[in-house]
Structure 1
Amino acid sequence: MVGQTAAAATAKISVIVTSDYAAGEEKSWEDLRRALRAWAEQEGAPAEEFILVESSRFGGRIPGDVVGMVANLKVLHVDAESSYELKNRAVEAAAGDWVAIVDADCIPHRSWLRVLRAAIAGHPEAAAVSARTLYPGRSRLERILGLLSRSYLDPGRSGPSRFISGNAAAFRRDVYRRHPLPVGMGAFASRIQSEAFLREGATLWFDQALVVVHDFEGWAMEQDIRRNHGYSTVITRLHDDRLPYAGLIRMGVIVIPLIAAGKTLDSVRDCFRCFRHYNVRIYELPLALAMAVVTHVLEMPGMWRAFRRKPIQATQYR
């Protein structure tokens, strides 16, 4: 344990940045500029390595000003397309003891690296540390959807978790390499990875002070998120019968309403547990509860496609 603590205190960190949404579009480059600017302005010691990973299909298309925004930025082009493949390849190429994987449309607070180093040193037993994700909160709908989309992995305070944030988390590189992100199952299939960590006896840690602000593009983006979440809920359990509730999923399409109802109940509990952390007022809770029903109904078409073993369609996610 002493050796483990000492290793955690001196751990080298590689930061991996990639785009999982609307890749190659002008907006994705703007997201990347904002993210890299935030990484360049971090408090305290910088990460030992920054890796921007992108498909070789975009070779020569990354804007020239982007590359110089972070002093030790490495651009890694790989023969892959999905965000999970890109992240896996970047982890293999990284040199750090820990890899922090943060999507390009997530802006880290200035204290992010400092807080992460403290979490790693303070919890040497952890194999992954997840960040808290907020939406910008420019409107009531945005704050409510941020609560509904993100609070499931937020225990309300720093502590152990059963989940790993899919858009902003750090991993012990050796554990990640044993359990890479699953490919070929859509954009939100990371539960397979987190459950593999847990089966190995790993501790997953959530840090309330490790915050990123995730871009929000409106209702169309939320519909896309929900369709993909529904798809991943089913397809991952069809592939891995060790996941929670896999037995229920194997009953077939008839359980889609039951799945949606169960997820709605979970969201209702999360609303009451975490609404203050997402800047939702108590008088806005009735609307949040109504939106919990709506958002999980939006997942049902994705579930249906997964049961039919059909690929997800009309999505901006990689």
Structure 2
Amino acid sequence: MPFASVIVPVKDGFDLLVGCVRALLDQDYPADRFEVIVADNGSAASPATVLPKDPRLAIVHESKPGSYAARNAALAVARGEIVAFTDADCVPDRGWLRVSAQYLSTHPTVAMIGGRVALTYQGGVPRNGPEWYEFVEGFRQQKYLASGFAVTANMVTRRSQFDRVGLFDDSLLSGGDAEWGRRVRSAGGRQAYVDTAVIEHPARDTWNEVKIKTRRTTLGIVRRTTRRRLVRLLAGQMLRSLTLPISVARRRDLPSWTAKRLYLMTKWRVDGVVAAGLMAGLQQTRKK
């Protein structure tokens, strides 16, 4: 098996990081053929205070804010031919690294893959608006790959791709996975979805968590988008919000009218946050 480096950025939240790292060290991949690099991005304390001692585990520190800056710092010391990415709040399936590396080994023309991100819920199933929103909208990896990228919660690639197209854009606080993935595609790199490469991710179950993520991702879009496209995005956002009740009523993946109502109310709130972010972006471009 090829030597693999697994990169996990983190800023605080060590309770979840511990579970992620333990799951990584327990992978059914040959123990002498992979390393785990935790990239600390300015936590209040060092991750070393909570993580197990293991020769396969290394910690790097990056003071520049942003998970993409942290990932680049880890890439600077990574030794793997295969480079796998996940997040500190994720729990990889025991066969995740093996399945991913085998796919790349048996498909030499594929540059990068995205695996399935399986949401988990505190009560076993979605119960409130934020969880139903995550159920519908969270981590649609196949859709993302159709547009040229995979979320770094579950993305595996070859080191040669970074040599070919460069590192992540560390000026981006959000959307760096999309920007890098599209560089790979533009350079002719093939991308694939691998459903059996599974990572679990806890669904956001409060409105505050959903709001924070929405603001961050909207800001990422604004920072890399022209004024003309912002106008189109805002117009499309407003139109979709007006017709949202009809589209939600037609959804077959929401199992009840209660689920549809809870999802609808949260989606409307999300759309409001997105619209506010896009309008703020338009105002900023007008000032320039």
Normalising by structure 1, report the TM-score. 0.73
Are residues 1:199 and 2:186 paired?
yes
Q: Which SS does the other structure have where 1:154 is aligned?
A: helix
Matches within 5 A, 1:1-318: 10-19=1-10, 23-24=11-12, 28-46=13-31, 47-55=33-41, 57-58=42-43, 61-68=46-53, 70-138=54-122, 139-141=126-128, 143-155=131-143, 162-177=148-163, 178-215=165-202, 216=204, 218-238=206-226, 249-250=227-228, 254-261=231-238, 275=253, 281=255, 284-285=259-260, 287-288=262-263, 291-309=266-284
Root mean square deviation of aligned Cα: 3.2
CA shift, 1:41, in A, is 2.0
Q: Secondary structure at the match of 1:209?
A: strand
Structure 1 residues 218 and 95: alpha-carbon distance in aligned structure 2, compared to 1, 3 A threshold = same
Secondary structure of residue in 2 paired with 1:104: coil
2:234–2:278 Cα contact (<8 Å) kept: no
Name stretches of at least 5 consecutive residues in structure 1 with no aligned partner: 1-9, 239-248, 311-318
Task: Check 1:140–1:172 CA distance in 2 against 1; reply closer, same or farther (3 A cut).
Answer: same
Structure 2: which amino acid aligns with 1:219?
A: W
Write out per-residue CA displacement over residues 257-295 of structure 1, whole angstroms, 9 at most, x where no aligned residue: 3242577799x69x959x4xxxx5366456545644442
Note if contact 2:148-2:178 (Cα within 8 Å) is conserved in structure 1: no
* Cα separation, partners in 2 of 1:201 and 1:251, compared to 1, 3 Å: closer
Q: Which runs of 5+ in 2 are unaligned?
A: none
Offset of residue 172 of structure 1: 1.3
TM-score (norm 2): 0.80
Amino acid at match of 2:58: K
In 2: Cα distance, 1:105 partner to 1:272 partner: 29
- 2:149 alignment partner AA: F
Q: Secondary structure at the match of 2:76?
A: helix
Distance in 1 of aligned mates of 2:277 and 2:136: 18
Q: Percent identity?
A: 18
Deviation at 1:58, TM superposition (A): 4.6
